[in-house]
């Protein structure tokens, strides 16, 4: 049958609803729903507000009440087909008497998918694929995690022009500028997990929290994860909840990136910000487990000191690790500092 103009407009609106600001990070996707009357007018809208709250379809149906019968439901994601903290949306749409369902993206979650078949079996018209790419963009990280059964990994690091992450004496405050550090907190706020190695905790004693421009710890904090086998001093700041607004810390006693990501995925973690030092970064790069790179480049030279990444086992230029640059942004200096450059990149395997 294809899609009507009203359905296209409704899907665009549903995508806006799905991306509503303020929804806390969590294991569930961002979803929006618009119910259309026979004349193409909007009857009700809904969106998911986080784990444990009504799904977008249930939210819209509740707002429509009995008037939902005979409507078209336009949803950014295939209605779920399982019972978790809430009931299956596919069954809710059937029970409400919806006539037609249009959705953008098929559900990649093996536990929840199958809603389209349930709807079709109940005699409801089902169309899929409207603004699918836009829907995937809203849930880029969640979709990746569902397909690959592991969290999406963003590797963030700060470096000098000659590739140093610290000086020869180990000092690294500050390689990056104040503007770059503020941008890092923005990046942290988009992730549900921050991951470092035991050496970073032992040497730098970071707090690993998301803070605003005034240094105030924000209420919603990612999980702080320390990876490595060695014991750590419990007095380190990352283990003190009083300093971090209640942020939780987990010590994964492994050096295996695959094992670490498997453990985190089992905890419903979907987006890891890799903030560890050069050794941990090299382990993830060599394992092929870096999905995005954000580098803050400062206009300075040190001449010696730790590299931003440790030995990758590369001995010839033909085997160089060559990520693709997707964005270059100049971060203006604050209080007289020199501007830094933020490079956003995506890895590629071909040379």
pLDDT single digits (tens) 138-181: 999 999 999 999 999 999 999 999 999 999 998 888 899 999 99
Domain harbouring 118, CATH code: 3.40.140.10
Say yes or no to pLDDT of 348 above 80.
no
How many separate domains does the chain show? 2
What is d(CA 54, CA 60) in angstroms, rounded to the nearest whole number? 9
Beta strands 32-36 and 72-77 are: antiparallel
What is the average per-residue pLDDT within 201-225? 91
Residues that are catalytic: 57
- Within-domain flag for 145: no
Quick one: 36 and 133 in the same domain?
yes
Quote the pTM value.
0.91
Let me know whether 118 and 9 are in one domain. yes
Average pLDDT over residues 42-46: 98
* Listed residues 140, 171, 195: the one ending a domain: 140
163 lies in the same domain as 268: yes
- Phi, psi for residue 243 in degrees, rounded to 5: -90, -10
pLDDT at 25: 80
Are residues 75 and 35 part of one domain?
yes
Q: Which residues contact residue 226 at a Cβ distance below 8 angstroms, ignoring those fewer than 6 apart?
A: 195, 196, 197, 198, 200, 201, 232, 238, 249, 250, 251, 252
DSSP run (H or E) holding 134: helix 132-138
- Per-residue model confidence (pLDDT) at position 349: 52
181 & 126 share domain: no
Is residue 211 scored above 80 in pLDDT?
A: yes
Under DSSP, is residue 157 helix (H, G, I), strand (E, B) or coil?
strand
Task: Tell me the C-alpha distance between 209 and 184, whole Å.
Answer: 11
Please tell me whether residues 164 and 312 are part of one structural domain.
yes
Mean pLDDT of 128-132: 97
Q: Is residue 132 part of a domain?
A: yes
């Amino acid at each position: 049958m294809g899609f009507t103009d009203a359905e296209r407009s409704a899907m665009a609106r549903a995508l806006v609803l799905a991306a509503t600001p303020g929804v806390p990070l969590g294991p569930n996707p961002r979803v929006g729903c618009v119910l259309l009357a026979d004349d193409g007018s909007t009857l009700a809208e809904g969106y998911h507000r986080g784990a444990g709250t009504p799904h977008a379809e249930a939210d819209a149906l509740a707002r429509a009440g009995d008037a939902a019968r005979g409507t078209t439901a336009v949803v950014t994601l295939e209605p779920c087909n399982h019972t978790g903290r809430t009931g299956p949306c596919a069954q809710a749409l059937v029970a409400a008497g919806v006539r037609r369902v249009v959705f953008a993206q098929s559900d990649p979650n093996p536990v929840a998918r199958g809603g389209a078949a349930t709807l079709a079996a109940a005699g409801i018209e089902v169309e899929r694929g409207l603004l699918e790419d836009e829907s995937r963009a809203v849930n880029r990280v969640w979709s990746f995690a569902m397909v690959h059964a592991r969290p999406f990994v963003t590797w963030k690091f700060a470096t000098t022009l000659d590739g140093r992450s610290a000086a020869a004496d180990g000092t690294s405050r500050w390689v990056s500028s104040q503007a770059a550090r503020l941008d890092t907190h923005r990046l942290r706020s988009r992730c549900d997990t921050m991951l470092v190695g035991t050496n970073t905790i032992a040497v730098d004693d970071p707090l690993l929290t998301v803070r605003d421009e005034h240094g105030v710890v924000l209420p919603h904090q990612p999980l702080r994860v320390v990876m490595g086998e060695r014991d750590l001093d419990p007095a380190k700041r990352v283990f003190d909840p009083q300093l971090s607004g209640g942020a939780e810390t987990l010590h994964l006693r492994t050096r295996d990136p695959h094992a670490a990501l498997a453990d985190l995925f089992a905890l419903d973690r979907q987006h890891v910000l890799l903030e560890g030092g050069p050794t941990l970064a090299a382990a993830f790069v060599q394992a092929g487990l870096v999905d995005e790179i954000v580098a803050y480049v400062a206009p300075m030279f040190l001449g010696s000191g730790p590299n931003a990444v440790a030995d990758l086992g590369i001995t010839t230029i033909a085997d160089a690790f060559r990520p693709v640059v997707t964005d270059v942004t100049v971060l203006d200096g604050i209080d007289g500092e020199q501007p830094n450059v933020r490079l956003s990149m995506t890895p590629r395997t071909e040379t």
